[in-house]
Amino acid sequence: MTRRIAIYGGSFDPFHLGHLVPTVRAQETFHFEAVYFVPAGSPPHKDAAPLTAVTHRLAMVAMATLPYENFFTSDDEVFAPQPTYSVETVRRFQRQFPDSTLYFILGSDSFSQIATWEHWEELVDSVHLVVLHRAHMWGRELEARVPARLRPRMRLAEPFEQVPDPEELTVYLLNHEPFPISGTSIRNRQSRGLPIRELVPHEVHSYIEKYGLYLPTAGTEE
């Protein structure tokens, strides 16, 4: 088996169990030597709503992933002055790990919109994809939304199965139990005083409480 490196980018606002647990399943299935979480300073696919300060988002990812030996947090993009695109992220990791096999992790909701991404064809032709199961976007609906040229590459992967090194570019659909939570729903719950303790890693919950994040008066990054 060649050395496997995974990349998982996102705004992580906040980092929650819908990010962490499926990635643990991916690690247990693909046996990545390292998984790099890459918080974005200015994600190109988010709406105009301001994000929580990047220092907070970076800290939450770092704290939540610290207990996992193969999980790492990358700060390469958090202070970028302009939006960074996934294809640029992959290029950077290809330069950093030229002898490794790279996998790009994303949710099925994002994968369903991949044809709208900047230079998406270069992205999918340069890296294997691991698609995480989002409850509202899977199966036939997901297949109908992705570009036709990607459908022959799509392969269902069950958690814990032995996945051999792919001979050609592959889109793995990781068929784990979906988590019906999102950063938006967590922020909304916190702002309304509803419990979020069971939705985020305990380190993230403690951090949110300590710094008063996502409250109606909480400051956000302009």
Helices (H), the chain: 17-30, 54-65, 86-96, 108-111, 120-124, 139-145, 183-191, 202-211
The arithmetic mean of pLDDT across residues 86-95, rounded, is: 96
The Cα 136–Cα 182 span in angstroms is 12
pLDDT of residue 83: 81
**pLDDT at residue 61 tops 90:** yes
pLDDT digits (tens, 9 = 90+) for 28-47: 999 999 999 999 887 665 55
- The model carries a pTM of 0.92
Domains in the chain (CATH in brackets) are 4-183 (3.40.50.620)
Residue appearing with tokens 């990812």 = 61
The Cα 96–Cα 110 span in angstroms is 25
The Cα 65–Cα 208 span in angstroms is 16
**pLDDT at residue 142 tops 80:** yes
- Cross-strand partners of 103: 6, 128
The Cα 201–Cα 39 span in angstroms is 17
The arithmetic mean of pLDDT across residues 96-115, rounded, is: 97
Angstrom distances, CA of residue 198 to CA of 16, 41, 55, 168, 203: 9, 27, 23, 39, 12
